[in-house]
A and B are shown apart, each in its own frame.
Chain A
Amino acid sequence: MNEFLLIFRRAFKSPEDQPSPEMLQDSIKQWQDWFGGIAAQDRLVRPLQRWDIDGVIVGAEGNVINGPYAEIKESIGGLILIRAKDYAEAAEIAKGCPILALGGNVEIRMAV
C-alpha cells in the first residue's frame, strides 16, 4: 500500500462562481457518502481536514492578495490523503469524487 494525495481543483473565475448554499447542501451528502466509502475500506490515511475557502495568495513581488480567484483560474477545493496499491487504484477511487460533476478535476500524487 502506498499513500496518495488527492487534490480537488475547480475553476473559480470569481467569488460569484461559488456554488449556492442549496447546491452546497446537495453536494454535502455526495461528499459525505464518498468520504464514508473510502473510510469504510480503511483507505483514509488521516481524518478529514476542512480548509478555509478564501485564503490569501502571495505574488512574485511579495504582494498579498485576498482569495485565490483574482489571478488564478483554478483553485484547490480540498485535499485528502488515502491509501492505495498504485496509481490505477487511486484513480479508481478518485473517479467517485463529487468535484468531477461540478466540472472540476482531481490531481493525484503518490508519497515517495
Chain B
Amino acid sequence: MKETALIPHLFRTEYRKICSVLCFLFGIEHIQTAEDIVSDTFLTAAETWSVKGIPENPVAWLYTVAKNKTKNFLKHNAVFEQKLSQQIRLDSQLHQDEVDLDLSDKNINDSQLAMMFTICDPAISKQAQISLALNLLCGFGVQEIADGFLTGKDTVYKRLKRAKEKLKERGIKIQQPKRSEINERLETVLTALYLLFSEGYYSVSNDATLRKDVCAEAMRLNYLLIENKITDVPAVNALFSLICFHASRFGARTGESGEAILYQDQDETLWDRTLIEQGIYYLNRASKGEKLTKYHLEAAIAYWHTHKQDSMEKWENILQLYNNLLILEYSPIVAMNRTFALAKAVGKQEAIKAAEKLGLNDNHLYFSLLGNLYMDVDDQKALQHFHTAIDLATTWADKKMIEKSIKKIMGQLG
C-alpha cells in the first residue's frame, strides 16, 4: 500500500481502537484529551513517515507512539496526573510510576463494547448517537459523517460537540455492561446499530463505498456484542441475522449508474450466498428465549426474501410476519410493505382496498405502491399515482426508479 493510501486506511482502522482504549482508561469526561492524543499520534506518523519512510510494522509503531504520548501527557499534566493516574493505577493494577496503555485485541474489544453502551445513553438523541458511534467507534471523520447524512460539516461538528458535552455532564462511567443493565441499555444499543446499518444501506448519499463501509461497521459492532457472553442474547443475534440478509443483496440493489434496483428486478445470482447462510445460522441462534423482538420478525421476513421464487407459502408467511410487526410497532414503511405482501398473498383487489385506507398522502413511496397495485388493474389510475409519486420524490435515484415504472406502462399502452 502506498503511503498516501496507508495513512487514511490506518486512520480508519486504528483511530477508533486507540481512541476507545484511551476513553476507557481516562473516563468519559476526557474524551477530548483522548481524541487529541490519537490525532497527535497520526500527525506524528504523517510527519515522520514522510521523512524516514514507512516503518516495518506501522500499527505497532502507532501503538508505541500513542503509549508514549499518553505517558508524556500524564507526566506533564500534574492535575490530571494526581486526580486520574492514581485511579488508573488502582484500576489497572500497574506499577506506581507507569501508566501503560493496553492495546491488546481483548482490551480494544472490551473498550469498544463499553463505549458502545456509553454512547447509547437515552439522554442523547438517536441522530447524535449514530454520529458519535461513527466518529468514536468507527473512526469516521466529520466530513464523511456529513456526506453520509447529506448535511453540512458544521452541523455534524456541532452535533458531536453537544453530544460529547452531554456525555460529560451526565458523568456516565465507561465500563463493561453488567448483566443487570443489559435489558435496559441493550435496546438503545440495538436501535443505534440498526439505524447505523440503515444509514449506510438506505442512505441517499451517492458514495457507494462510504455506504458499504458504514454497513460493515454496523456489522462489526453487532458482532462484538455476539462475541461477548453477557450481550450474546437472542435479540442481538436476530439483528445480526437481519443485517446479514440485507447485506447479501448489496451488490444486486444498485445499477451501474447508481439507481436503485427493486427486489423483484434484482439478479439473484448477485446475492451473496455466504452472507445468506450466515443470516440463517444467526436466525437459528436467535430462536430461543421467550421474547419475540421486531428484529426477529424483520430477520424472518428478510429470510423469506432470500427465496426469489414467489410462492403462496412465502407471501403468506411474510404477510403474517408484517402483521405481527405492525401490531408490535407501527411504522409507515412497514404498513406499506404489509400491503404489498397482502397483494401477493391474497390479490390486488384486496390490497388496493387496504392501501387506500393507509392515507400516507405526503409519501412518494405510498403513491408508488398504489401505482404498482393499479398496474394491469387500471393503468390510467396507475399512471396518475406514479406521476404524484415523482412529484413528491426528492432524490434522483427515487425519481429514476418511478420513471421506469411509468415507461413500462406507457410501453404497454402503446
Q: Which residues of A contact B (CB under 8 A)?
A: 29, 32-33, 35-37, 39-42, 44, 47-48
Say if the beta carbon of B289 comes within 8 Å of chain A: no
* Contact call A40/B320, Cβ cutoff below 8 A: no
* Contact call A36/B328, Cβ cutoff below 8 A: no
Complex alpha-carbon distance, A43 and B16, angstroms: 44
Q: Which residues from B are CB-within-8-Å of A42?
A: 330, 332, 335
Query: Closest A-chain residue to B322, C-beta based?
Result: A36
* Contact call B335/A35, Cβ cutoff below 8 A: no
* Contact call A40/B324, Cβ cutoff below 8 A: no
Given contacts A35-B323, A39-B326, A40-B330, 6 further A-B contacts (CB under 8 A): A39-B323, A40-B335, A40-B339, A41-B358, A41-B359, A44-B330
Say if the beta carbon of B319 comes within 8 Å of chain A: yes
Q: Which residues from B are CB-within-8-Å of A33?
A: 319, 323, 342
Say if the beta carbon of B354 comes within 8 Å of chain A: yes
Q: Which residues from B are CB-within-8-Å of A36?
A: 319-320, 322-324, 326-327, 338
Q: Separation in Å of the A89 CB from the closest CB of chain B?
A: 11
The size bracket of the interface on B is 20 to 34
Q: Separation in Å of the B346 CB from the closest CB of chain A?
A: 8
Complex alpha-carbon distance, A37 and B324, angstroms: 11
* Contact call B327/A48, Cβ cutoff below 8 A: yes
Q: Separation in Å of the B79 CB from the closest CB of chain A?
A: 53
Q: Separation in Å of the A45 CB from the closest CB of chain B?
A: 11
Main secondary structure of the interface of A (DSSP, over half): helix
Complex alpha-carbon distance, A12 and B327, angstroms: 28
User: Contacts A32-B323, A35-B323; is A40 near B354 (CB within 8 Å)?
Assistant: yes
User: Contacts A29-B320, A36-B319, A42-B335; is A47 near B357 (CB within 8 Å)?
Assistant: no
* Contact call A40/B328, Cβ cutoff below 8 A: no
* Contact call A41/B335, Cβ cutoff below 8 A: yes
Q: Which residues from A are CB-within-8-Å of B320?
A: 29, 32, 36
Complex alpha-carbon distance, A41 and B331, angstroms: 9
**A interface footprint on B333-350 (CB within 8 Å = 1, 0 otherwise):** 011001100100000000
From 16 to 52 in chain B, residues with beta carbon under 8 angstroms from any chain A beta carbon are: none
Q: Which residues from B are CB-within-8-Å of A32?
A: 320, 323-324
User: Contacts A32-B323, A32-B324; is A37 near B330 (CB within 8 Å)?
Assistant: no
8 example contacts (A-B, Cβ-Cβ < 8 A) are as follows A35-B327, A36-B320, A36-B338, A39-B323, A39-B327, A40-B330, A40-B357, A40-B358
Q: Which residues from A are CB-within-8-Å of B319?
A: 33, 36
Complex alpha-carbon distance, A35 and B323, angstroms: 7
From 101 to 135 in chain B, residues with beta carbon under 8 angstroms from any chain A beta carbon are: none
Q: Separation in Å of the B352 CB from the closest CB of chain A?
A: 13
Complex alpha-carbon distance, A41 and B336, angstroms: 10
Give the most central of A29, A33, A47: most B CB within 10 Å.
A33
Q: Separation in Å of the B209 CB from the closest CB of chain A?
A: 37
Q: Which residues from A are CB-within-8-Å of B354?
A: 37, 40
Complex alpha-carbon distance, A42 and B334, angstroms: 11
Complex alpha-carbon distance, A42 and B354, angstroms: 12
* Contact call A40/B338, Cβ cutoff below 8 A: yes
Q: Which residues from B are CB-within-8-Å of A37?
A: 354, 357
Q: Separation in Å of the B316 CB from the closest CB of chain A?
A: 8
Q: Separation in Å of the B341 CB from the closest CB of chain A?
A: 9
Q: Separation in Å of the A26 CB from the closest CB of chain B?
A: 13
